[in-house]
């Protein structure tokens, strides 16, 4: 992840640092290279453009060029801008899951089929029930609302057994909104702290999917609506995020397959496109392969 972007930026900055004095033209030339590197990493064009414009303005506008170490200062400006692009300090850690409502706190998971939604539902449930988010262990109930994909509900039940988290008993033929209603009632009656709703995905965003998400959200009144997107899908991930965020009130994003060789564009564009923080990164198939997303750390990794 980020390897090629990191190499490209490393080259640009080594050249900048290597020179004693910098002119405005030097900075502008370097920023053109940064822009190309970002686009090659699949960063959305408007995001890359805004990023580079902002850095250029800061670097040229402040007394950076007249300082003793202009190259170093430009790199610092890029670092700060990257951290901001990745979501700043906000939404990074587990505490940012908004669970402070009257229980059960509902976490609704949305996303396309194959994005890793069901796996991520179980990963978050495991962390919550294991007391890894905040200090206390949460009593978690998971329910699958996916009536489209054969065996989706069974898949969640199997994961529940593995991680020792309760799942809502399956009633064949029941529709998503009714399952959500039943899950909420069960969670209330049985004293669960958190209810996780694994909603249906589709291969593509469509009107029926969005209508279903909105109807479920209305019934379940979720404290969190987390969009799960596959970081390997690059620009597509960004388009999917844009679509969902236009129609469903997301509270955050989970990027899966960060263990793969994604070029990084999805991670870098997500905040700008959705306005919402990336809260977690999926880093493998195992159920403990989930990390809180820390913008500073990721920026540090990119800049080497
Ligand atoms: P859903 O259709 O969105 O519910 O997707 P699933 O949760 O069934 O995941 C699809 C596949 O992706 C499964 O084989 C998961 O094990 C795998 N997967 C999910 N998240 C990750 C991740 O972060 N890294 C890797 N390598 N695989 C993942």
ipTM for the assembly? 0.99
Quote the pTM value. 0.91
CB-based contacts of 180: which residues, under 8 Å, 6+ apart? Answer: 143, 145, 197, 216, 219, 220
d(CA 111, CA 252): 12
- State residue 53's pLDDT score: 93
Nearest atom within ligand 1 for CA of residue 119: 7
d(CA 55, CA 80): 9
Banded model confidence at residue 134, pLDDT cuts 50, 70, 90: low
Banded model confidence at residue 67, pLDDT cuts 50, 70, 90: confident
Spatial CA neighbour of 271 closest among 298, 303, 301: 298
Spacing, Cα 167 to ligand 1 middle (Å): 19
Nearest atom within ligand 1 for CA of residue 289: 23
pLDDT at residue 106 greater than cutoff 80: yes
- The residue that leads in pLDDT, 262 or 289, is 289
Q: Whose CA is nearest to atom 27 of ligand 1?
A: 285
pLDDT at residue 65 greater than cutoff 50: yes
- State residue 135's pLDDT score: 65
Nearest atom within ligand 1 for CA of residue 282: 23
The residues pairing with 105 across neighbouring beta strands, listed in sequence order, are 194
If you average pLDDT over residues 95-103, what whole number do you get? 79
* Chain CA centroid to CA 137, Å: 24
Report the chain's mean pLDDT, rounded to a whole number. Answer: 89
pLDDT at residue 15 greater than cutoff 70: yes
Residue 112 annotated as lining a ligand binding site: yes
If you average pLDDT over residues 270-299, what whole number do you get? 90
Q: Are 52 and 82 in contact (CB under 8 A)?
A: no
pLDDT at residue 93 greater than cutoff 70: no
Spacing, Cα 173 to ligand 1 middle (Å): 25
pLDDT at residue 91 greater than cutoff 50: no
Q: Are 197 and 216 in contact (CB under 8 A)?
A: yes
Q: Are 168 and 141 in contact (CB under 8 A)?
A: yes
pLDDT at residue 199 greater than cutoff 70: yes
* Chain CA centroid to CA 294, Å: 11
If you average pLDDT over residues 219-232, what whole number do you get? 95
pLDDT tens digit sequence for 159-171: 999 999 999 999 9
How many Cβ atoms are within 10 Å of 269's Cβ, its own excluded? 28
If you average pLDDT over residues 221-250, what whole number do you get? 92
How many Cβ atoms are within 10 Å of 46's Cβ, its own excluded? 11
């Amino acid at each position: 992840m980020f390897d090629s972007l990191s190499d490209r930026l490393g080259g640009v900055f080594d050249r900048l640092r290597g020179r004693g004095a910098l002119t405005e033209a030097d900075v502008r030339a370097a920023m053109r290279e940064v822009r190309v590197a970002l686009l090659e990493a699949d960063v959305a064009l408007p995001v890359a453009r805004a990023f580079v414009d902002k850095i250029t303005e800061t670097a040229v506008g402040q007394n950076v060029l007249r300082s003793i170490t202009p190259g170093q200062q430009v790199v610092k400006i890029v670092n700060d801008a990257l951290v901001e692009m990745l979501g700043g300090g906000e939404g990074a850690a587990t505490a940012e899951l908004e669970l402070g409502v009257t229980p059960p706190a509902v976490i609704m998971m949305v996303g396309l089929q194959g994005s890793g939604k069901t796996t991520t539902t179980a990963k978050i449930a495991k962390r919550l029930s294991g007391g890894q988010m905040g200090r206390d262990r949460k009593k978690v109930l998971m329910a699958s609302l996916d009536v489209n994909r054969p065996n989706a509900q069974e898949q969640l039940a199997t994961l529940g057994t593995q991680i020792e988290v309760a799942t809502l008993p399956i009633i064949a033929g029941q529709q998503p909104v009714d399952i959500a209603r039943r899950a909420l009632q069960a969670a209330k009656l049985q004293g669960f702290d958190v209810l996780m709703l694994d909603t249906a995905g589709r291969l593509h965003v469509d009107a029926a999917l969005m209508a279903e998400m909105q109807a479920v959200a209305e019934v379940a009144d979720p404290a969190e609506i987390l969009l799960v997107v596959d970081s390997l899908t690059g620009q597509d991930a960004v388009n999917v995020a844009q679509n969902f965020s236009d129609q469903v009130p997301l509270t955050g994003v989970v990027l899966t397959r960060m263990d793969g060789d994604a070029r990084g564009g999805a991670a870098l564009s997500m905040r700008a496109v959705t306005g919402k923080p990336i809260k977690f990164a999926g880093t493998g198939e195992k159920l403990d392969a989930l990390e809180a997303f820390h913008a500073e750390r990721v920026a540090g990794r990119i800049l080497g």
